[in-house]
Amino acid sequence: MTARIFSGEREVASVDPGNRGLAYGDGLFETMRVDSGSVPMWPRHLARLQQGAQRLGIAVPGIGFLEARMAEMTAGIGAGVLKLLLTRGEGGRGYAPPAGQAATWLLATDPLPRFQARGLRLHWCETRLAIQPALAGIKHCNRLEQVLARAECGRAGCDEGVMRDTAGNVACATGANLLVLRNGAWSTPPVLDCGVAGVLRGWLLEQGMLEVAAMLPAQLESADALALCNAVRGILPVAMLGEQAWPPHPAVAQLQAKLALAYPMYSESMEVA
Amino acid sequence: MTARIFSGEREVASVDPGNRGLAYGDGLFETMRVDSGSVPMWPRHLARLQQGAQRLGIAVPGIGFLEARMAEMTAGIGAGVLKLLLTRGEGGRGYAPPAGQAATWLLATDPLPRFQARGLRLHWCETRLAIQPALAGIKHCNRLEQVLARAECGRAGCDEGVMRDTAGNVACATGANLLVLRNGAWSTPPVLDCGVAGVLRGWLLEQGMLEVAAMLPAQLESADALALCNAVRGILPVAMLGEQAWPPHPAVAQLQAKLALAYPMYSESMEVA
């Protein structure tokens, strides 16, 4: 990981030990796909970041300054990942957020993770997502539920996992949104109670390729096909969820092809037939 | 704030930008009262820290090493606050916790906050606590709910606030446990669904001075007296909650006196009659 850290529009050497992101997860983040030195999904990431910052009352650094630093970070990167972490900054007495505090934020680049050609094996996570409308949809830094659920997936020998909320509804994967094919149409669970409004989920919804629908575990298991989507990996087919298996489905390949047409960077995550 | 940072048993200069506490709030903390160079409540703080670390699967540094560094930090401090922040350390692919990772942790001292002689004014917080048994009771670093609720208190001109859970039950204050006097007995809400098992709350329960009881907002408003407790400030009387006001109650002073007898450091937070 290569990182640069800023306080407002001033570069700093390190993260202050009194940083509120560190103390309370008091921040937001975006994990973005870099393609040929730029971030094609940036406008969507920025919109979500701004929405999250407004909900939490965190100052967003000047967009021009931020974009200039991003361009410096991504220059020369053919394919990779750029992470933006925006924290409320330092200090305050306990939980009370200090007034007029400049945000502390960082940019970090990482290599693109390896993709596997085969469909994903998913675990039914025991860890549930709490119902919290005040934090649902935004990509905030309170992610212990996802950390615990992802640890379960590893112990189960699975690639990822499906999380339910505490009311029993299907919510999302630990680090991706769910795409569920039923009766020839793709749907994804709502993100009003929990979960993250994924950038790629948003694009698919806007294109009319996807609709929002509440769903129970049985509806997931009886689906015609499942896939996951996120902004780093694109659309990934699911081969197994718990004991349930699915053969490759042409509708997944079609969805991947439509995405690759708009964003060619995602073509490499397409399943090898 | 004076801070020292460690990775396992090695002191480091700064917090790595890839720290998981910073990224996901993937950690635990204890905020402790320092008295004459030591931390009288340390065994209780340590027990809660170890319980949290077990729940989250975070490695605790060697206790002897940790205690030696704490002693160095608190030497010469007559009265103050010591914070211990324990994170899962660096790295891992996304949410997946890396195996065998040494924890990154820090110790920081701060002056004792000023206490006010008058009773506290409390706000009814709109921000609710989500019901999440997997994280309830422990003092983890996912604290956005408390940050949002505490910001509400500031806007309302109040000292602190009462939080309800999403089911409508009374839970706690943003940074303290609630003590509620009804029919001559003190009770405090359970912490099985949300909230933190406070160190001082635990002591009061063990002494038989307090019992656990679920409660609704109306029961709080009709209580004979209210107080807050936490390990830094001791027992603080409440003068107002929303529109409801309480005159000083002798039972609060009695509880404070019993605490001060066992832990004289808390005598300075007693209400001036």
Q: How close does chain B come to A185, measured CA to CA in Å?
A: 30
Chain B residue with minimum CA distance to A1: B18
pLDDT of A86 = 98
CA angle B135, B136, B141 (to 5 degrees): 55
B220 to chain A, closest Cα gap in Å = 23
* Structure tokens given for A212: 């929002």
pLDDT in tens, chain A (273 residues): 899 999 999 999 999 999 999 999 999 999 999 999 999 999 999 999 999 999 999 999 999 999 999 999 999 999 999 999 999 999 877 999 998 889 999 999 999 988 777 899 999 999 999 999 999 999 999 999 999 999 999 999 999 999 999 999 999 999 999 999 999 999 999 999 999 999 999 999 999 999 999 999 999 999 999 999 999 999 999 999 999 999 999 999 999 999 999 999 999 655 443
For residue B31, the distance in angstroms to the closest alpha carbon of chain A comes to: 10
Which chain B residues are within 8 Å of A25, Cβ to Cβ?
24-25, 141-144
Residue to test with chain B: of A142, A148, A166, most B Cβ within 10 A: A142
The DSSP secondary structure of chain B, one letter per residue, reads -EEEEEETTEEESSB-TTBHHHHH--EEEEEEEEETTB-TTHHHHHHHHHHHHHHHTPPPPPHHHHHHHHHHHHTT-SEEEEEEEEE--B--STTSPPTTPPPEEEEEEEEPPPP-SSPEEEEE-SSPBP--TTTSBS-BS--HHHHHHHHHHHHTT-SEEEEEBTTS-EEEESSSEEEEEETTEEEE---SSSSB--HHHHHHHHTTS-EE----HHHHHT-SEEEEEETTTEEEEEEEETTEE----HHHHHHHHHHHHH-GGGGGGSPP-
Q: Is A108 in Cβ contact with B18 (below 8 Å)?
A: yes
- CA–CA separation, A98 and A117 (whole Å): 48
Q: ipTM more than 0.90? A: yes
Q: Which of B25, B142, B150 sits opposite A95 (nearest CB)?
A: B150
User: In this structure, what token pair is assigned to residue A26?
Assistant: 């008091």
Size of interface A-B (CB pairs under 8 A): 171
Q: What is the pLDDT of residues B12-24, one digit of tens each?
A: 999 999 999 999 9
Q: What is the DSSP letter of A270?
A: S
- C-alpha B211/C-alpha B233 separation (Å) is 21
The answer to whether the Cβ–Cβ distance between B25 and A56 falls below 8 Å is no
Average model confidence (pLDDT) across chain B: 95
Question: In angstroms, what separates the C-alpha of B246 from chain A's closest C-alpha?
Answer: 25
Contact A95 B140 (CB under 8 A): no
Nearest CA in chain A to B23: A141
A8 residue type, one letter:
G
Reported confidence tier of residue B54, pLDDT bands at 50, 70, 90 = very high
Beta bridge partners of A244: A241
3-state SS, residue A20: helix
Per-residue model confidence (pLDDT) at position B272: 44
With contacts defined as CB-CB under 8 Å, which chain A residues touch B27? 22
**Chain A residues within an 8 Å CB radius of B155:** none
**Residue contact A142–B15, C-beta within 8 A:** no
Q: Which among B27, B106, B132 has the least Cβ separation from residue A17?
A: B106
Residue in A162, A203, A181, A176 with CA at minimum distance from that of residue A249: A181
pLDDT-wise least confident of B56-70, B83-97, B118-132: B83-97
The predicted pLDDT at position A11 comes to 98
From the number of C-beta atoms within 10 Å of its C-beta (0-12, 13-18, 19+), residue B43 rates as: exposed
Q: Is the dihedral of CA B94, B91, A122, A240 positive or negative?
A: positive
Using an 8 Å Cβ cutoff, are B154 and B148 in contact?
A: no
Token representation of residue B240: 């107002």
**What pLDDT does residue A269 have?**
54
Q: What is the pLDDT of residues B138-178, one digit of tens each?
A: 999 999 999 999 999 999 999 999 999 999 999 999 999 99
Contacts of A86 in chain B (CB under 8 A): none
Give B-chain residues touching A95 at CB under 8 angstroms: 143, 146-147, 149-150, 174-175
pLDDT digits (tens, 9 = 90+) for B230-270: 999 999 999 999 999 999 999 999 999 999 999 999 996 55
The pLDDT of residue B42 is 98
- In this prediction, residue B271 carries a pLDDT of 45
- Chain A positions touching B193 (Cβ under 8 A) are none
- Does A145 contact B132 at a Cβ distance shorter than 8 Å? yes
Q: Tell me what percent of the residues of chain B surpass a pLDDT of 90.
A: 93
Q: What pLDDT, on a 0 to 100 scale, did the predictor assign at position A161?
A: 98
Do B96 and A21 count as a contact with CB atoms less than 8 A apart?
Answer: no
Q: What is the dihedral of CA B154, B156, B161, B167, to 10 degrees?
A: -120
CB B204 within 8 A of CB B186: yes
Calculate how close chain B gets to A21, using CA atoms only, in Å. 5
Chain A hits for B108, Cβ within 8 Å = 17-18
Q: Which two tokens stand for residue A193?
A: 């109670």
B30: closest CA among B41, B22, B17, B18? B41
Q: Mutate which of A11, A12, A24 to test chain B, going by most B C-beta atoms within 10 A?
A: A24
Give the H or E element holding residue A87. Answer: strand A79-87
